[in-house]
Structure 1
């Protein structure tokens, strides 16, 4: 199992909408997340800085990276782009975090 952690950034005022959209995650996106090897995926919000911290466990890095090219993932990025910092292709601006401790 591969553990990954990422940091993203939410725009001010979109906290509730971000949570709502994830509570209503599209079934076809959920299917693709699983099909591309996600075993666990959580996102946490720091309300003071609006930093989003994502933690996921995947089976295979190559398979996981292929998710980005899927039509449903591209559609999700477009749907979420107004809520957070994004790249020109609407993908979230992410910073990979280094694991420094495990209990």
Structure 2
């Protein structure tokens, strides 16, 4: 557990942090690299599916609505076992190739 010298830092919530970061970005004249509205294209969708299926979950893309989150959970329940099965098959094939060579 981390202990803070300033106890007020323990109550610094996410909203205040986001405001501080946004204020810093404005003062530095920074522009966001990717707008949230434009991230949901084909490649963004494939990236999102890949992070769900492989259980990486970077967190930079996330469903925000109830139905989006529900669909993501169902999607993960189907996709994660499918990826595990595919990786198992690839491992078996690679083992057979290496075993036949040596």
* Structure-1-length-normalised TM-score: 0.22
Q: Which has the bigger relative contact order, CA under 8 A and spacing at least 6? A: 1
Which of the two has greater helix per residue?
Answer: 2
* Structure-2-length-normalised TM-score: 0.23
Which of the two has greater strand per residue?
Answer: 1
